[in-house]
C-alpha cells in the first residue's frame, strides 16, 4: 500500500513537472479560443492560381466514407491572411481509372466565413483504396474579385460500422445514398437522429431529395428488443431528415430504416449500427 502511494505521488509529481515543461516548450499551447483551426487537422492544400489564394481543407478527423463535415480555409497568397468573404464551390471526384464519379456535397451556405473558415459537407461514397479522391474547390475571392480552382487530393478511409448506405429504390429504381449524420456522442436516453438522402444522376450529380418518408426502428440485435417513443425523421432542408432515436441501455444497437415514397416501398432493408 505504502509503495503504491509512493508510486502515485511520484507519478503525480512527474505529471505536474511534465505538463509544466510542455507549456514552456510550446508557448502557443494554451489554445486561443478564437483560433479557427483549433481542434482541426489539415487534410490537404493546394493553390487556386487564378484567385491568388492558397486553399486548405480541414477536418476534425481523417476523412471517411460517408458524411464529412469539412472546413475550407482560403488564404491570400501574398499576405497569408485568411479570406473571409468568398464564394466557394466544391466538386469532389473519384478517379477509378476505368471510370470517374462525383459525390454528394453541400457548399458553404454563405459567402461570409464562419470564424474565418467556410464549413461545408462532402459525402464520400467509397474509400481511396479503389481509386483516388480529389476535391476541386472553386474560389471567387470577393475581396480581390479573382477566381480560380484548387485541386486537393484527399485520402478517404472506410468506416465501420458503415454510416453510408446505398440502395436501388424498389418503386422507381432510383439509386439513393443515405448518409447517417452521427451526433457527436450517443447516450442512453433520447438522441437526435439525422440522415441525408441524395439521389445519383448518372453518378456525376447527386441532388438531395426531400420527398421520402422514413420510419426508424432501433433494435438490439443480440436481444431482439427495441425502444419506445422514437420520432421518425422528417425532412428539414437540403435532403436532411431529422428525428429522435431512443436507447434504453448501452451496447450495440441497430437503427433500422424503412423508406417510403408516396406510400410505395423504397427500401426496408437498410440499417445503421451504432454503439454506446
- Please work out, in degrees rounded to the nearest 5, the angle formed at the alpha carbon of residue 54 by the alpha carbons of 106 and 57: 40
User: What is the nearest approach in angstroms of other proteins to the Cβ of residue 84?
Assistant: 39
Residue 6's φ and ψ, nearest 5 degrees, are -60, -45
107 versus 248: smaller Cβ distance to other proteins: 248
75 versus 163: smaller Cβ distance to other proteins: 163
Contact yes or no for 36/73 (Cβ under 8 A)? yes
130 versus 189: smaller Cβ distance to other proteins: 189
6 versus 225: smaller Cβ distance to other proteins: 225
Residues paired with residue 195 on neighbouring β-strands, in sequence order: 180, 241
User: What is the nearest approach in angstroms of other proteins to the Cβ of residue 193?
Assistant: 13
Please report, as ranges, the residues that interact with other proteins according to CB under 8 A. Answer: 187-190, 219-229, 246-252, 275
How far is Cα 222 from Cα 224, in angstroms, rounded to an integer? 6
User: What is the nearest approach in angstroms of other proteins to the Cβ of residue 251?
Assistant: 3
CA 141 to chain centre: 25
How far is Cα 153 from Cα 194, in angstroms, rounded to an integer? 29
User: What is the nearest approach in angstroms of other proteins to the Cβ of residue 226?
Assistant: 4
Place of cell 485520402: 155
Amino acid at each position: 500500500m505504502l509503495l503504491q502511494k509512493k508510486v502515485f505521488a511520484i507519478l503525480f509529481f512527474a505529471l505536474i513537472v511534465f505538463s509544466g515543461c510542455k507549456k514552456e516548450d510550446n508557448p502557443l499551447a494554451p489554445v486561443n479560443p478564437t483560433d479557427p483551426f483549433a481542434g482541426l487537422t489539415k487534410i490537404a492544400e493546394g493553390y487556386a492560381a487564378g484567385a491568388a489564394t492558397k486553399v486548405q481543407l480541414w477536418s476534425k478527423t481523417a476523412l471517411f466514407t460517408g458524411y464529412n463535415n469539412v472546413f475550407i480555409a482560403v488564404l491570400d497568397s501574398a499576405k497569408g491572411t485568411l479570406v473571409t468573404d468568398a464564394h466557394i464551390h466544391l466538386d469532389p471526384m473519384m478517379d477509378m481509372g476505368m471510370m470517374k464519379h462525383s459525390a454528394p456535397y453541400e457548399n458553404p451556405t454563405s459567402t461570409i466565413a464562419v470564424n474565418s473558415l467556410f464549413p461545408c459537407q462532402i459525402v464520400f461514397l467509397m474509400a481511396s483504396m479503389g481509386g483516388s479522391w480529389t476535391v476541386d474547390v472553386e474560389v471567387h475571392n470577393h475581396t480581390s474579385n479573382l477566381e480560380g480552382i484548387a485541386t486537393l487530393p484527399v485520402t478517404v478511409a472506410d468506416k465501420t460500422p458503415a454510416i453510408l448506405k446505398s440502395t436501388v429504390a424498389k418503386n422507381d429504381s432510383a439509386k439513393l445514398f443515405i448518409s447517417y449524420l452521427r451526433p457527436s456522442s450517443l447516450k442512453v436516453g433520447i438522441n437526435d437522429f439525422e440522415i441525408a438522402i441524395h439521389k445519383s444522376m448518372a453518378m456525376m450529380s447527386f441532388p438531395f431529395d426531400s420527398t421520402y418518408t422514413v420510419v426508424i426502428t432501433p433494435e438490439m440485435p443480440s436481444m431482439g428488443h427495441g425502444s419506445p417513443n422514437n420520432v421518425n425523421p422528417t425532412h428539414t432542408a437540403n435532403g436532411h431528415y431529422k428525428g429522435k432515436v431512443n436507447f434504453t441501455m448501452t451496447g450495440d444497437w441497430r437503427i433500422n430504416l424503412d423508406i417510403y415514397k408516396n406510400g410505395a416501398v423504397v427500401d426496408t432493408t437498410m440499417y445503421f449500427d451504432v454503439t454506446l
